[in-house]
């Protein structure tokens, strides 16, 4: 009897040691970071800035892969359904991921947030309202008046149906009693290109996407969506300053791992994100794009996922989105 117990205990000890050894060895190969949008947008910016630092901390290359489509759903689904071994992660827009859970397509094969482990928040950034400069709009009051005059013909581009940019546009319409024409794209980059080209009239977009165009003569920045002005755009007033009360919206980007990823790997990734966020070069890059690094623990991240769903549920309901 003692012999059998001894063998059982020895087997358990060896299995435990093997698990610890395996976790200690991670990572032993490059890590793929999927961005569910095209290159050039704010999510892509956040991913590449963090990937550079994470690669140094983890001593393995972090390969950023853009997998765009369906407002981020295609890329998210590819990660949710992949092997949960810590070698494939998702860096996505938290708002878009939450909104996709409220407006799932028929092709969606995962449940958010249940299909993921929260690793860490990455970046937070205000959005700005930007119009093409030949539009007779100098401020939010002008925009509201023109939108009401045009009765649904004034168009705004977004990163896709259900994206954060789309939903902020819907929230703006609910707050101002206006009706705009939504034009969805596969990402912020294409939407901004068409705004500059005059194919759409305005965008509600994130600072990293827009900061390179602050001095573009074809664009005019008329408001930011947060309660306070952005230090990167100190001369651009908030919506609240222009008479739109209770409007405080920012976009946050989050690092997620597939459900089933070992908890010690998730924790190590989270700690690496916190370490990366302290890097002076990363902080300077964020500041230059009107963003801030906001790393969190896995538990705090999981709470943020569920809170974000609650934030947008009312907009989906009141705007009657399908």
In a domain, 285, yes or no: yes
In a domain, 106, yes or no: yes
Burial 115-131 (b: 16+ CB within 10 A, else e): bbbbbbbbbbbbbbbbb
**pLDDT for res 24:** 67
Q: What is the rounded CA–CA span in Å between residue 41 and residue 190?
A: 9
**pLDDT for res 23:** 54
CATH number at residue 177: 3.40.190.10
Q: What is the rounded CA–CA span in Å between residue 268 and residue 274?
A: 10
Domain that holds residue 286: 30-124+252-317
In a domain, 155, yes or no: yes
Q: Assess whether pLDDT exceeds 90 at residue 96.
A: no
Region of residue 243 (left: phi > 0; alpha: psi -120 to 50; beta: else): left
159 strand-pairing partners:
none
Q: What is the pTM of this model?
A: 0.79
| Mean pLDDT, all residues of the chain | 90
CATH number at residue 45: 3.40.190.150
Average pLDDT over residues 259-267: 97
Query: CB neighbours of 141 closer than 8 A, spacing ≥ 6?
Result: 242, 243
Which of these three, 207, 242, 277, is where a domain ends? 242
User: Number of folded domains in the chain?
Assistant: 2
Q: Can you give the length of the chain in residues?
A: 322
Confidence of residue 69 (pLDDT cuts 50, 70, 90): confident
Which of these three, 242, 261, 296, is where a domain ends? 242
In a domain, 38, yes or no: yes
Do both 111 and 142 map to the same domain? no
């Amino acid at each position: 009897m003692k012999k059998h117990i001894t063998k059982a205990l020895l087997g358990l000890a060896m299995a435990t040691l093997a698990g610890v050894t395996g976790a200690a060895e991670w990572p032993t190969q490059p890590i793929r970071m999927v961005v569910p949008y095209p290159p050039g947008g704010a999510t892509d910016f956040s991913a590449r800035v963090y990937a550079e630092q994470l690669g140094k901390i983890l001593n393995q290359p972090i390969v950023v892969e853009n997998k765009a489509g369906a407002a981020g759903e295609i890329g998210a689904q590819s990660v949710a359904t992949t092997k949960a071994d810590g070698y494939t992660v998702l860096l996505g827009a938290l708002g878009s991921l939450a909104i996709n859970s409220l407006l799932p397509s028929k092709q969606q094969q995962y449940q958010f947030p249940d299909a993921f482990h929260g690793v860490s928040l990455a970046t937070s950034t205000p959005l700005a309202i930007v119009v093409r400069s030949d539009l007779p709009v100098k401020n939010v009051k002008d925009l509201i008046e023109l939108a009401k005059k045009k009765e649904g013909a004034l168009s705004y581009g977004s990163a896709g149906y259900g994206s954060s940019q789309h939903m902020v546009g819907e929230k703006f319409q609910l707050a101002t009693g206006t009706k705009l024409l939504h034009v969805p794209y596969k990402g912020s980059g294409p939407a901004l290109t068409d705004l500059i080209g005059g194919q759409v009239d305005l965008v509600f977009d994130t600072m990293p996407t827009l900061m390179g165009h602050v001095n573009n003569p074809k664009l005019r920045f008329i408001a930011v969506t947060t309660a306070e002005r952005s230090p990167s755009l100190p001369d651009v007033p908030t919506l609240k300053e222009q008479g739109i009360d209770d409007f405080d919206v920012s976009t946050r980007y989050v690092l997620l791992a597939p459900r089933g990823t070992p908890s010690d790997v998730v924790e190590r990734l989270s700690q690496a994100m916190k370490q990366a966020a302290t890097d002076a070069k990363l902080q300077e890059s964020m500041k230059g794009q009107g963003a801030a690094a906001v790393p969190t623990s896995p538990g705090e991240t999981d709470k943020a996922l569920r809170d974000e769903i609650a934030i947008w549920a009312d907009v989906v309901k009141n705007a009657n989105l399908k």
